[in-house]
Amino acid sequence: VSARLPRYRCGGCGRLIDPAVQVWRCPACGGLLVLEPAGASFPLASIRDRPTTLWRYREALPFDAGSDAPGRVTMGEGFTPVVTVTLGDAPVLAKVEFASPTLSFKDRGAAVLIAAAVELGATEVVADSSGNAGAAIAAYAARAGLAATVFVAATASPVKLAQIAAHGAEARTVDGDRESVGRAAREEVESRGAFYASHVHNPYFHQGTKTFVFEVWEQLGGRMPDVLVLPVGNGTLLLGAWLGLGELYSAEAISAVPRLVAVQAAGCAPVAQAWALGAGDVEPVVGAGTVAEGIAIAAPARGAEILAAVRDSGGEVVTITDEEIVAAGRELAGQGLYLEPTAAATAAGARRWIEQQGAGGADVLIPLCGAGLKGAAATTQVH
């Protein structure tokens, strides 16, 4: 069954590994896996005739034309609208990612990841999440008829916990930090031999999030903006975007890649700290806490990949305070767009970057990653 999926490559030792239900890291060195490139193409004339979902870029997705897995999982995810918003005095393009089946951009990764699990013949999946990825995995697992166990921090938004449970997944809360939650999930994966539906470790998640930039390219008439401002915790959207930009560039669909500006919350900013030091990898920090729970990742496993992507794009890392996050959330709610704090953090980062650069006329696009209703507990504190 798995022969129809591309092989993994270990980022540590370079070994090629056949995909299988139980494989989520290199069996030899424990390294992080990426997917072997399969030669993406973007036949726009054909793409335009297809349904407006992320699956319209099928020549760039790692599934055989005969696979029924995408059809078994899809809920119409992708092709979210692009609108113009104002940050300070600056007009900025905003892609409304919360207009997704489970109200966050994580549906992109979850749809493709669960389709891969189906293709591999998995019957159950295990995930860990600050909330939104867990909700997306729970929903798509339910859609595909797979059992799901999702580990979340005891401090996660009650709304997200309720969402996970509503889909029939077993939500297991773990006391401690985000890293403790991940460890608990991996122990479960190893003991059960289950498919690890991790948005950090499993490279299929980035195969989904990369479609974000394909859509931007198509929706802007075959071009990319100069700057993409993206939130960074584990970097699931930024790494997917970088992967997708590389595929668009290799296929000669674009002649230059945008600068990637990564946004971190001051209360938990290990990537920003490494960036300031000019380091090649990220050292864990002890976070002071932030309202942006979705990017409060003290030890991002793919930190080195995040730093390399930002550096290679000519971008940078900006840090914003909770006060700026709250202010940006109010600013966008005042324009009709109600965001959870983690999503407002991206807008705050874009505003900060534009002000720092004096770049009021810059060609900038931000994602609006998660709906305001998702973070009900956190937003209640700020009104």
Q: Which residues contact Zn ion by CB under 5 A?
A: 10, 12-13, 15, 26, 28-29, 31
Q: Who's near 334: CB < 8 A, 6+ residues apart?
A: none
Question: Shortest distance, CB of residue 200 to Zn ion, whole angstroms?
Answer: 17
Output 13 or 166, the one with its CB closest to Zn ion.
Answer: 13
Output 9 or 143, the one with its CB closest to Zn ion.
Answer: 9
Output 27 or 193, the one with its CB closest to Zn ion.
Answer: 27
Output 17 or 362, the one with its CB closest to Zn ion.
Answer: 17
Q: How far is CA 106 from the centre of its chain?
A: 6
Question: Shortest distance, CB of residue 32 to Zn ion, whole angstroms?
Answer: 9
Q: How far is CA 97 from the centre of its chain?
A: 11
Output 31 or 240, the one with its CB closest to Zn ion.
Answer: 31
Question: Shortest distance, CB of residue 9 to Zn ion, whole angstroms?
Answer: 9
Give the residue from 238, 190, 241 showing the smallest Cα distance to 213.
Answer: 241
Scanning the chain, the segments in alpha helix (DSSP H) are 44-47, 69-73, 106-120, 132-144, 158-166, 178-192, 204-209, 211-219, 236-250, 270-277, 303-312, 322-333, 341-357, 376-380
Question: Shortest distance, CB of residue 24 to Zn ion, whole angstroms?
Answer: 13
Q: How far, in Å, CA of 217 to CA of 226, rounded? A: 12
Which amino acid would we find at residue 335?
Answer: Q
Measured CA distances, 90 to 16, 37, 86 (Å): 47, 38, 5
Question: Shortest distance, CB of residue 17 to Zn ion, whole angstroms?
Answer: 8
Question: Shortest distance, CB of residue 15 to Zn ion, whole angstroms?
Answer: 5
Give the residue from 114, 99, 120 showing the smallest Cα distance to 146.
Answer: 114
